Amino acid sequence: MGVNEAPGPKDLPGPAPGDDAAPEADRHVLLAGHVLFAVLLSLGAVRAALASSTPVVPILAALAAAGWYCVGAVWVSRRRGRVARLWLAGLILIWLGLIVLSGEFVWLAFLLALLVWHLFPVRAAIPVEILVALAAAIAFAAHQGRWVAGAIFGPVIGVACAAVMTEIYQRLRAQSEERQRLVDELVSARRELAIREREAGRLGERERLAREIHDTVGQSLASVIMLLRAALGSSTPTDRSAQLHTALDTASDALAETRRFVLGLNPATLERDGLATALRSLADESSALGLRTVFEQHGSPCPLPTGSQVALLRAAQEALSNARRHARADAATMTLTYQDDEVSIDVVDDGTGFDPTAVDGLRANGTGYGLTAMRSRLSEWGGEVTVESEAGAGTAVRATIPVGTRTGEEADGT
């Protein structure tokens, strides 16, 4: 094959006769070839023996041909390539000897033509096929003692039909193998896609659980710890009792919220009262935990999908929790604003402030996840989070969601 030639069916490796790995259809074709050789050789040997004065000669010659053919069928043809072609050349030489002995062996030319086209490259197969056809025609005419049209056209047509049949079969087999390869690639691609989808789903669920735990259980436990520490340091029984009761209520609320998110439910106050009321209750809870929080609302309320309301509520919770736990703020203002194109929540505190670029992201001790989770929630609804802060100047957190995001989902009013 030349450098620029595309591989054709004859260049593709095929199954060897007797190869257990061969497809079922190939084994049937090979079995048919073996049976055809045995039948043609047996008939030729019997007819030649009956017509010969020394019948043992054509019989021994036929046995030699049968033995050589079995060698190729059982051993040589498994290796294909040069060894198989040498075996076939030997079989052709034996056949030439047979047709010298008797014209009854001429019909083996059909099977030889099949093998030549199967095992030889095209450039070598064509001249060999011509030689086989000529040898068959000459031998037939020689034994008949005269030239007839059938003696010429019969072998030629038989050899040509054998070559065409073999080429068609090889092309069909190559197409079948190509289709099977494409099917295997498709199955493999679908399997890999399914694995990636399962992995993406697992990671997505892990992130969802991490956010929910952080926004509910994590914040509530942090508040309970702060209250218990304050109760331990209280100087009066009255203050200690109030702080313990607040810690108990906070833990109870956290347990209820945990049960709801395990069941896939939204916060109870949000589902029952809407976003504005839930934020007002959040401001009251924050004040009870020690951070004086004022809630304000501006603009005309508009319907929002429940998911976007949850994202805004969790952003407000995170901002107030950070103000209490990290900024040591005394007061905060939480503002819900409805505009024509977006809804926003601003939480401004009077705490110590910080450098947003220095603490954004998860830290080695496991803290710092809040802003990352907040941004992840808001981004799912096309929103964003901005943080403005500096040391000693307090912090302003703004969470916004465009109006109309995911309009195909059910929207709830505030």
| Three-class HEC string of the chain | CCCCCCCCHHHCCCCCCCCCCCCHHHHHHHHHHHHHHHHHHHHHHHHHHHHCCCCHHHHHHHHHHHHHHHHHHHCHHHCCHHHHHHHHHHHHHHHHHHHHHCHHHHHHHHHHHHHHHHHCCHHHHHHHHHHHHHHHHHHHHHHHCCCCHHHHHHHHHHHHHHHHHHHHHHHHHHHHHHHHHHHHHHHHHHHHHHHHHHHHHHHHHHHHHHHHHHHHHHHHHHHHHHHHHHHHCCCCHHHHHHHHHHHHHHHHHHHHHHHHHHCCCCCHHHHHHCHHHHHHHHHHHHHHCCCEEEEEEECCCCCEEHHHHHHHHHHHHHHHHHHHHCCCCCEEEEEEEECCCEEEEEEEECCCCCCHHHHCCCCCCCCCHHHHHHHHHHHHCCCEEEEEECCCCCEEEEEEEECCCCCCCCEECC
Residues 48 and 165 in one domain: yes
Domain stop point among 191, 225, 250: 191
Counted domains in the chain: 2
Within a domain: residue 185? yes
Say if 255 falls within a structural domain.
no
For position 352, which CATH number holds? 3.30.565.10
Which one of 167, 191, 215 terminates a domain? 191
Specify if 407 maps to a domain.
yes
| 317 lies in the same domain as 180 | no
Q: Identify the domain containing residue 17 by its residue range.
A: 9-191
Q: Which of 163, 191, 219 is the last residue of a domain?
A: 191
- Does 306 share its domain with 165? no
Same-domain pairing of 279 and 187: no
Q: In terms of domains, do 170 and 294 share one?
A: no
From first to last of the 414 residues of the chain, give the pLDDT tens digit. 333 333 344 443 344 333 433 445 566 667 777 888 888 888 888 988 888 888 888 899 889 988 888 888 777 655 567 888 888 888 889 988 888 888 888 888 888 888 888 777 878 888 888 888 888 888 877 877 776 666 666 666 777 777 777 777 777 777 888 888 888 899 999 999 988 888 887 877 677 667 666 666 666 777 777 778 777 777 678 777 877 877 787 777 777 777 666 655 567 677 777 899 989 988 988 888 888 999 999 998 888 888 888 889 888 988 888 888 788 889 999 999 999 889 999 999 998 888 777 655 444 444 456 778 788 888 888 999 999 988 878 899 999 999 864 433 443 444
Domain membership of residue 289 (yes or no) is yes
